[in-house]
Structure 1
Amino acid sequence: MGRSETVYGKILAVALTIILCSNAAAYAEEVTVRNATGEYTLLSGYGITHRGFGDTRTQVQTYDTIARFGWFLSDETGRGWYRGRHELLMELPLHLTVDPRVRSMTGGYLLGSWKFTSLEDFAPYVFAGGGVLFVDLGLPTMGSRLDFSYQGGTGVQYFIAKDKAVSLEYRYHHISNAGTASPNEPLNSSKILLGITLFR
């Protein structure tokens, strides 16, 4: 074997070693809720208004589908049971009403969240925020099709893999036109949602 073949063989061996080591390091660094940069969640569930809560008078039932994109704003902070991460959530909701009639509501939400990371198999979280909705319910008591929402709730994610979880959450959900039109009956409701989350 000539000198050039020997040098070439050594360079090839070093290159393969670097590639294998870098791949091993990449696989060793599994994506989990503790080191992910973000999450993608699809939620679906049921909601119903609470007649008599505030000025809510109309019963409205919905089937809800929400696409959620989350960005973690911090590494793990805190100690003990309250250790967790700050997260910014953007949601694209579709609320399909089935009572009193089949109509739809859609728009966008921006939420802040604290996700607890101190448990091995579960990640509880709390969240709050709001957004804008185009409401096509045909209810004369609402006064406007352009409405606003604020909401808050809590949930838990159960890990079915290091980077995947099943999500279950409850949220209080408010819709009104914020006094921009009259009349202004709000819709105060509860929603129960189930979904799947991927961490990236």
Structure 2
Amino acid sequence: MKPQLLLAFLLLSVCAAVAQDSIETVRSPHWNYGIWADYGNGLGTRSDVHIGGAGFRVGRVLTNEHGSNWMRGTFEYDIDLTPVEIYHFPKYTEYSGPYTILWPSRNYYTGGLNPFVAKWNFTKGQKWVPYIAAEGGVVFSDGNMPQGDTAETNFTSGAAFGAHRFVSDHGAWTFQGKVFHLSNASIGNHNPGVNIAMQFKIGYTWFKK
């Protein structure tokens, strides 16, 4: 075999080995840690609500691979912490009996915790690992949110979809979209909330034993 062909064969073999190993950390129990930035927007009648912030995640792949073909994957459980999130609500009209109150627009500075992130990783690929997740959490704001006689504590629930793009054996860029609902669960006298919102995240995730 010519030296050039031998070198090309060796390089292809190394690349193939790297590709095969690149997502092994999602195919068996491993810890992962991630950081992200996000942007979200209300939908429908709440399309003028805007959300932006940053946070981090700690999680663990709990199982080895199960299933076959495109459904093959692993189960993961995560916890998200969002120390910095700004919610912008436009001016809001509140009707209270015979009175009408016009609240001005306001930015809310919030922190949040998602203690429930149940995820399924699809592990058939070599570089890309798509996933779906169910999420639930709580948001604490610096005032009643939205404006009016509502509450400083709100709850979120939703479904996420995304993918890791592995760039090394233990690191991946992470892209995620999430559809969620925001509500104070009627712990305030009024519960206008946000029926449905869409949020996008981009971040980086590290995987380790």
Shared fold, TM over 0.5: yes
CA change 1:171–1:137 in 2 (3 A) is: farther
Higher mean alpha-carbon deviation, 62-71 vs 115-124, is at 62-71
What percentage of aligned pairs have identical amino acids?
26
Which residue does the alignment assign to 2:154? 147
In the alignment, the residues of structure 2 paired with residue 35 and residue 75 of structure 1 have an alpha-carbon distance, to the nearest angstrom, of 4
Residue identity in the other structure for 1:174: H
Which residue does the alignment assign to 1:89? 78
1:3-152 equivalent positions in 2, closer than 5 A? 32-52=25-45, 57=46, 59-93=48-82, 94-98=84-88, 100=90, 101-109=106-114, 110-136=116-142, 138=144, 139-141=146-148, 143-152=150-159
Q: How many residues align?
A: 168
TM-score by length of 1: 0.76
Give the unaligned 5+ runs of structure 2.
Answer: 1-20, 91-105
Give the unaligned 5+ runs of structure 1.
Answer: 1-28
User: Once the 2 structures are TM-superposed, how far is the Cα of residue 176 of structure 1 from its aligned partner?
Assistant: 0.8
Maintained 8 Å contact 1:108/1:131: yes
Higher strand share: 2
Maintained 8 Å contact 1:142/1:177: no
Residue identity in the other structure for 1:114: W
Which residue does the alignment assign to 2:100? none
CA change 1:142–1:86 in 2 (3 A) is: farther
User: Once the 2 structures are TM-superposed, how far is the Cα of residue 162 of structure 1 from its aligned partner?
Assistant: 1.3
Residue identity in the other structure for 2:78: L
